[in-house]
Amino acid sequence: MVSISPVLDLLAVSVALLSLAPLRDVARLAREPAAKRAWQALLAAVAFCILLVAVKAVRGLPPPLDTATALQLILQLVGAAIITTFAQLARRTALDVVRLARFEAQALTDGLTGLGNRRLFTERLEEETARARETGAPLSLVVLDIDHFKRVNDTYGHAIGDVVLKHVADTVMAGMRNADTVCRIGGEEIVIIMPRIDPAQAAEMADALRATVGAMAVSVGDGRTVAATVSLGFATRQPEEDGESLFRRADAALYAAKRDGRDRVILAA
């Protein structure tokens, strides 16, 4: 009988080796630590099996090629092909998921400030309002507007206005909790959704944010700086109130803050 099992073993090893790079890429792309460890463990297991088959092919005594041996070798080849195909499909799927996540993030992000956009604000406010209705947890909303922003644009130009807006946005983000959602919903208007926090503490955070922005000087180049202040409207969800009503009350409080002299926080009625 002819013995060609080492050749077929090495062929199976060659096919299976093609699975290692895709499995490595999937392990790198995984975001969740548990999933990353699972893919790394699978990669290690496949590599170990490939090593065992390679050692068998190189050092083992090949059995005669009878029907049982032939069937075993065919199964090894088919198994190696399946593993390689699975690994390649997994990598392609992971890359598609990453692309979709990037597209989704772009669709929900304001391009200038990096904050969420109006779409994210609408979705998150609806989600948090529903959660507050179910759990009874407090939900507060802050609407913020840069004072005399048109004057900044008219005096220094829109490029400098963008620098000021970006600086204010960064300052707002730095002063918020991880649970809060900060979005730019148009022009220089920024909203902050603050779930599961005592309303008094949320109002204190809003006023501290006002003070922080007012104390800063934004460098705009050539040794020039621009000062900025903000007006804020603050509202806490009332029993059975929906998100749209909550936003209207906070927005009305913002306009009251502007009417009363700006650079202040007004609590909604």
Q: Which residues are catalytic?
A: 188
Cβ contacts of 117 within 8 Å, gap of 6 or more:
108, 109, 110, 183, 184, 185
Decide the pairing of beta strands 139-146 and 230-236: antiparallel
The closest alpha carbon to 122, from 233, 206, 244, 252, belongs to 244
Is residue 155 helix, strand or coil? helix
> Distance of CA 32 to CAs 21, 28, 39, 177, Å?
20, 10, 11, 22
Q: Are 69 and 5 in contact (CB under 8 A)?
A: yes
